[in-house]
Structure 1
Amino acid sequence: MEKSRSSDENYNKIIMIFVEEGLLEAAVTTIKEMKQSGLGLSPELYNSVIHGFAKAGKFNDCMLYMKEMEEELGIKADTETFDCLIEAYGNQKMYDEMNHCIKEMESRGCQSDHTTYNLLIQEFARAGLLHKMEKLYLNLPNRRMFLQRSTLIAMIETYAKFGILDKMEKIYHRYLKSVRVLNEDLIRKVATVYIKNHMFSRLEDLGHDLSSKNGGSELVWCLRILCQACQLSKKGTYYVAEEMESLGVPWNPTVTNILALAFMKMKDFKQLNRLLLELPSQHVKPDIITVGILFDACVDGFDGRTVKKVWGNVGFFDSEIEIHTDSLVLAAFGMGYFLKTCERMSISPKTGNKMKQVRTYRHLISLTRTLADVHGYN
């Protein structure tokens, strides 16, 4: 409104703010005001507007402003512009348009760089287009281009999703060398593939990898003790548990439930009883997984009366249903009778979602009473 402030620079800033906030109609209106005032748009502003429309999936508008940029400024779209379009097409799952975009780049004499190739590999990976992903990946050395960390992660996740073990490991080791801190969600996905293939010893390796990069964490101990428990190695399980104790690592529901499941599988009810009775003194609050272990163990001959009495005295059964156990535990051991019953009642042991009327463990146990009578949950 003040003529002294009506400048290319200020208008450019305002339009870029509109684009960043997704207010594209306001951006277009402001562009029209600029033109009416005889002000010019910069190449950076055109790129910003094209990126905004691409992100919103409005590709016709992208093409309109690309054409306008060429006609008014005499500047052709650059690699950055096309990279944005490729990413946007990938987000919209428009893979044919991605290929067309690459051809358009080449026809305009615009060279693909390492950003372009990494974007393409990532989008093909997320789409599960393994052949296209691998073809580009194998071309990178010839073009003297490098893989970004986000690209390595996308490839690992894709191989993990399809259970392609050897290729997953190859890219994982490359990723391991390229980062200072590991992505824990990615480690879980890799670990899940090892579990499905019964390659439990690799879990120990993942634990050491994670420890060397991220330091000690709950996931590190989860992986290490899960490695021993899945192999039903009593000696190995005790060794890791003793190492945790010597280092002063506090107990948590994940490690507690792994130990309890291992003891139950090994029919070591003496150690199971001792473990479950020590939870209150160790300040570990059992979750729905722990409850499932207790009641399933009773089916297998475990006398859980003392544990139930102790838990009842400290008020545990009157607390709200929760889950604090790492997802890898269920991936490794699966669900027993109790958890399967909960799932049938729309109470998910994987997400913690529950029916609104089921609030406490006492209420949950009462609802499973019919099944409990059948299976001996007394």
Structure 2
Amino acid sequence: MRLPLKPLKLPPSGAATLRSFSAEPHPSPPPPPPSLEGPDPSSHISQTLSLLQTTDPSSWTTNTTLHTLLSSLSPPSALKIARQLPNYQNALHFFNHLRSTSQPSDSISLAFQAVLEHAKRESPDSAGKLYELYVLSKDQNTPLSVNAATLLIKCFGQAEMLDEMIMVFDAVDEEMVNTDVLNLVVSGFLKWGRFDDALKMLDEMFETDSGYPPNSNTTGIVFSSILKRNWSGRSVTDEEICKLVSRFGAHGVYPSSIWFTQIISRFCRNRECEKAWVVVHEAMNSGLDVEVASCNALLTGLGQERDFARMNLLMKEMKEKGIKPNVVTYGIMIKHLCKFRRVDEALEVLEKMRDGELGIEPDVVIYNTLIDGLCKVGRQEEGLKLMEKMSLDSKCNPNTVTYNCLIDGFCKAGEIERGHELFEQMSKEGVEMNVITLNTLLGGMCRHGRVSTAMEFFNSMREKGLKGNAVTYTVLITAFCNANNIDKAMKLFDEMRENGCSPDAVVYYSLISGLSQAGRMDDATFIVSKMTEAGFGLDVISYNILIRGFCRKNKLDKASELLKDMEKNGVSPDRVTYNTLISFFCSNGDFTHAHKVMKKMISDGLTPTVVTYGALIQAYCSNDNIDAAMKIFRDMSSSSKVPPNTVIYNMLIDSLCKNDDVEVAISLMDDMKEKGVRPNSTTYNALFKGLQQRNWFEKALEFMDQMTEHACNPDYVTMEILTEWLSAVGETEKLRKFVQGYQISASTA
């Protein structure tokens, strides 16, 4: 049973330190293990060991020879004898004998130390056994040697017996306490995640008049604990780490290069570059030899924040402090300049790198970064020249990545042939192509509509043993879906699964979209089931595609099931979902349900769009209910924040003209002008038909002039209406002038 233990109490500051702390301003380091250098001859030790091992412990007190030998032994000799006894029990008997014969306390203390050492080695539950012995020593008022206390503190710390660890620490004589002992206590706390307790102990070590200031071991213990991935304690903030580094620095100690670099990397990873900057410069200004790895970590963080001014300043300071940049340093600069499309500056860094005092030769990674950067800004020809230069100047051979960057650049620029030429050059020069090379060329071909060529190329590569991966099939399946070749896309999908390539969400989405647009809703549902089995969920776009597909097939029950499935999976319908349903009900003349869906849309916090109103207006116009259509139009113009567009006006003008309400249609043209909505040829065509029915020739001429003035392109419908009408009334000359006027106006525009 564990004894009740007093908690660790650390005073706030000043002279009121722990009782066990040394009052000496500069204590000496812990003494080495005692040796037998002293007045005791080795023969006395051998005789004593022989007697102890050949006689029964119960007779030791009456053995005058043993008594004589022990009386002449020094404390270090007592320690050596106890250590050489065969086991823990013998050592314990020896310790008890020394106590019973009133040997010097130093001898008793060192003998007890040996007992602890035996028990630690031999006992399965060493921490428990040591605790029993420690309690025994307290009961017997046996003083602890510094090594015995150190052993107990370390053992209890490792066993998470932290209260016991502090109990031993408090019992250590003040003269024995030093930095190394405190390091063990700090280590014990940190091992079990007790950062705040460790911090209290560190606070004492950081005190100005502390006799046990932190050393390099302290920093190693602290930072190796709180920076490791499986740290079990509370989260230590970047602010706390920054403060710790500064406080250690005030005592002239810093974390080792490895931990210092990890601290900088952590700050930069957490977007705390300012802290990283401060810590690095505190170390530099203190005279610490900051290594290039730490500067590289800071450069990486600054690059991610696009702070190129500080990156250049740090490079300058590194030169001043004698910190030699390496190829990684320049690589970081070039990488981030290229990433943010500052390729010319990156090329300048390349020149400085080669022509500088250090004369560091760029490696293939740096060249690849620059070539990729040039290709990404459309300068693939310069990238090609740089590849040629790298072979000549640096004896640095292009590799697969080099060619992949260039092929990608030419393919994205639409120069598929150039990309293929590089592919052939790659093969001739013995540079191994990989699946990325394949996918890059396939992607370029498919993006530019050369799907059949892409398929032929894929088949030829397969014959040469280059197998595609999931990306390969995704590119091809998506391309065939976009080309409405669903059968081929499905065949590739089956082949993909047979070859062990797991389809990703993009493949499923592409197939669902293609099948739905082709009206193959059963196949689309099958793909959805496979997608669900694979662990992917439908997003709102996929749901909308499926709902639209089922609505086109007039399968409202299936669309309703999908709506319920959306709700079940926590996917909220968007404007497209509601607009699809409203269009469906409108096309079927079911205005009651259309308006109900619109109300639900509004109640869900979604504002109806011009598509929503357009579906209702189109449906009312198609059902010859122009009054209802005009009411919705007026609602849009007054209460709604959605202004009508050209399509809405065209619907209404066409319907009004068909119903011989030409005056109202003309008023809508004026309304368009006031609201800055530009009419198109469809608008004018509808109006010309209405004017033709009324034979309002003069009004038609006005609108013909408007078309010319606005450079509105007359289409074949316009010409058909005007040719028939103007020829019938003998005004072909006006038609000729109209065509000429438009041509001049369009040319000017």
Same fold (TM over 0.5): yes
**Map of 2:361 onto structure 1:** 41
**Map of 1:101 onto structure 2:** 422
**Map of 1:8 onto structure 2:** 326
**Map of 1:113 onto structure 2:** 434
For 1:255, the aligned partner's letter is T
Taking the aligned partners of 2:676 and 2:411, their CA distance within structure 1 comes to: 43
For 1:111, the aligned partner's letter is E
Q: Deviations over 1:144-175 (max 9, x none)?
A: 44434443333233223322221122334566
For 2:506, the aligned partner's letter is N
- What is the number of residues matched between the two proteins? 339
Task: Identify the match of residue 577 of structure 2 among 248, 255, 258.
Answer: 255
The unaligned stretches of length 5 or more in structure 2 are 1-315, 655-671, 678-682, 691-749
**Map of 1:55 onto structure 2:** 376
Taking the aligned partners of 1:51 and 1:247, their CA distance within structure 2 comes to: 42
Q: Deviations over 1:328-372 (max 9, x none)?
A: xxxxxxxxx748649x9xxxxxxxxxx997599xxxxxx99x98x
Cα RMSD over matched residues?
4.3
My pick for the range that moved more, 269-278 or 254-263, is 269-278
Q: Which has the larger Rg? A: 2
For 1:162, the aligned partner's letter is A
Per-residue deviation at 1:34?
2.9
Does residue 24 (structure 1) correspond to residue 343 (structure 2)? The answer is yes
Which structure has more relative contact order (CA 8 Å, sep 6+)? It is 1
Taking the aligned partners of 1:339 and 1:148, their CA distance within structure 2 comes to: 51
For 2:351, the aligned partner's letter is K
Does residue 226 (structure 1) correspond to residue 548 (structure 2)? The answer is yes
Q: Deviations over 1:215-245 (max 9, x none)?
A: 3543344244333321223554555556667
Query: Given the superposition, is the C-alpha separation of residues 255 and 210 from structure 1 closer, same or farther in structure 2, using an over 3 Å criterion?
Result: farther
Task: Identify the match of residue 505 of structure 2 among 182, 187, 191.
Answer: 182
For 2:325, the aligned partner's letter is S
Per-residue deviation at 1:109?
1.8
Query: Given the superposition, is the C-alpha separation of residues 300 and 145 from structure 1 closer, same or farther in structure 2, using an over 3 Å criterion?
Result: same
The 5 A counterparts of 1:155-304 are 155-172=476-493, 178=501, 182-183=505-506, 187=509, 190=511, 193-194=514-515, 196-205=517-526, 207-208=528-529, 213-215=535-537, 217-237=539-559, 240=562, 252-276=574-598, 279-281=601-603, 283-301=605-623
TM score, norm. by length of structure 1: 0.70
> What secondary structure, in the 3-state scheme, does the structure 2 residue paired with 1:17 have?
helix
Per-residue deviation at 1:271?
3.4
Identity of aligned residues (%): 15
> What secondary structure, in the 3-state scheme, does the structure 1 residue paired with 2:433 have?
coil
Query: Given that residues 12 and 41 in structure 1 are in contact (C-alpha distance below 8 angstroms), is that contact kept between their aligned partners in structure 2?
Result: no
Query: Given the superposition, is the C-alpha separation of residues 111 and 202 from structure 1 closer, same or farther in structure 2, using an over 3 Å criterion?
Result: same
For 1:298, the aligned partner's letter is Y
> What secondary structure, in the 3-state scheme, does the structure 2 residue paired with 1:318 have?
coil
The unaligned stretches of length 5 or more in structure 1 are 324-336, 345-354, 361-366
Taking the aligned partners of 1:33 and 1:237, their CA distance within structure 2 comes to: 64
Per-residue deviation at 1:87?
0.8
Taking the aligned partners of 2:644 and 2:479, their CA distance within structure 1 comes to: 31
Taking the aligned partners of 1:207 and 1:259, their CA distance within structure 2 comes to: 21
**Map of 1:130 onto structure 2:** 451
Taking the aligned partners of 2:528 and 2:650, their CA distance within structure 1 comes to: 29
My pick for the range that moved more, 116-125 or 263-272, is 263-272
Query: Given that residues 204 and 223 in structure 1 are in contact (C-alpha distance below 8 angstroms), is that contact kept between their aligned partners in structure 2?
Result: no
TM score, norm. by length of structure 2: 0.39
Per-residue deviation at 1:291?
0.9
Taking the aligned partners of 1:285 and 1:48, their CA distance within structure 2 comes to: 47
Per-residue deviation at 1:92?
1.8
Task: Identify the match of residue 147 of structure 1 among 427, 452, 468.
Answer: 468
Q: Deviations over 1:168-193 (max 9, x none)?
A: 22334566885575239x83x54554
> What secondary structure, in the 3-state scheme, does the structure 2 residue paired with 1:22 have?
coil
For 1:318, the aligned partner's letter is S
> What secondary structure, in the 3-state scheme, does the structure 2 residue paired with 1:183 have?
helix
Taking the aligned partners of 1:205 and 1:231, their CA distance within structure 2 comes to: 17
Q: Deviations over 1:36-75 (max 9, x none)?
A: 3251223222232233333334445434433443334433
